[in-house]
Amino acid sequence: MQKIRVELEERSYSIIIGNRVLHDLGEILEEFAFSSKIALISNPTVYQFYGEKISGTLKDAGYDLTEVIIPDGEEYKSLAYTEKIYASLLNAKLDRKSALIALGGGVIGDITGFAASTYMRGIDFVQVPTTLLAQVDSSVGGKTGVNHPLGKNMIGTFWQPRLVWIDTATLATLPRREFLSGLGEVIKYGVIWDENLFAFLETNRDEIVNLDAMSLTHIIKRSCEIKAEVVSKDERESGLRAILNFGHTIGHAIETLTGYKKYLHGEAVAIGMYMEAKLSHQVGLLKNEEGLRIKALIDSYELPSALPDDIEINDLLETMQIDKKTVAGKMHFVLPEKVGEVRISSEITAEDIRTLAL
């Protein structure tokens, strides 16, 4: 078992990483003094693998459990489905000391956290991420939210979980494409913070894609350590935390323009990372060989790096203008200066973006 602490004063919490540890969750939760009424939020895909195991451990610990299953997919991370969660919680009479358990990937974690932050003005929740993407990124840091047709994660809150419980064994049932998508976010941590992690991804590709337990634990733990350190210094993204958005300014716009259906999140971020690396080279911050190194790693994990042919550059620009990272009409980009080091820039122009399509 590996333990990482996110230090946020009274909102501090632990990230626990283990293998085949789902059955221990009920016992662990007893130390949090939640009320007896709690709810499990999941989707049918994840529930068929792990729902009974989690439900069993929670019921064995004496909890009166309500299960809420929402459809699987980014398009269901919406206000409409949040209302369905609220209705289930109210019908089951969950109270202000109740907790929600998010069992699934980033969609489940985001919508569960958002529901928890707003139900009765805020109740506790626990993240049990079952995808690589959620384990290394969305389950940590307290960002919650739902999508709007005009933009991804435009409606949300900062609401920290009480615990993040990671079982690496859940990755064995993850479709290969979903697993590789998660590696997009791991690559991000290497570019923005840790050249050694980036190099580990370069030299241990076969072990990682073949789900070698030690390699997986290393990249998950290191990714969580980086995010914990950044979030502990800047919980609400007033400065440093913005570096976690590397690849996301363009990536989110691609997801929005394709209706969240063509690309998985990590795939869109991979495209965004290389496009933003190209931008950095265009403005003289990043050497060409460093940009090509980033592209080579993205390509080696079978992730896309090219801007889609069916996306018009003006549509991309318009969508980025709606993004939360645009302030006073200026788009904010995270630009790598070298692998392991980035800077935040608001000096990229529309013409710079248009040049990417040439």
| Catalytic residue list | 121, 143, 185, 227, 237, 241, 245, 248, 252, 265
Question: What residue has token string 């206000």?
Answer: 79
* Cβ proximity of 102 and 41 under 8 Å: yes
CA R_g for the chain: 20
**How much helix, strand and coil, in percent to the nearest 5, is found in the chain?**
55, 20, 25
**Residue 205 CB partners (closer than 8 Å, separation 6+):** 300, 301
* Cβ proximity of 138 and 129 under 8 Å: yes
**Residue 33 CB partners (closer than 8 Å, separation 6+):** 97
In 83-235 the beta strands, taken as DSSP E runs, fall at 99-104, 124-129, 143-148, 151-158, 163-167
Question: What residue has token string 């956290």?
Answer: 113
Long-range pairs of 251-254 with CB within 8 A, sequence gap ≥ 24: 252/151, 252/152, 252/153, 252/323, 253/316, 253/319, 253/320, 253/323, 254/307, 254/308, 254/311, 254/316
DSSP-derived secondary structure letter, 94:
-
* Cβ proximity of 127 and 109 under 8 Å: yes
Q: How far apart are CA 271 and CA 250, in angstroms?
A: 8
Q: How far apart are CA 192 and CA 221, in angstroms?
A: 16
Q: How far apart are CA 271 and CA 80, in angstroms?
A: 30
How many alpha carbons lie under 13 Å from residue 101 in its C-beta half-sphere?
A: 29
DSSP secondary structure letters along 233-293: H-TT-SSGGGGGGTTHHHHHHHHHHTTTTSS-HHHHHHHHHHHHHHHHHHTTSS-HHHHHH
CA angle at 193 for the pair 191 and 196, rounded to the nearest 5°: 80
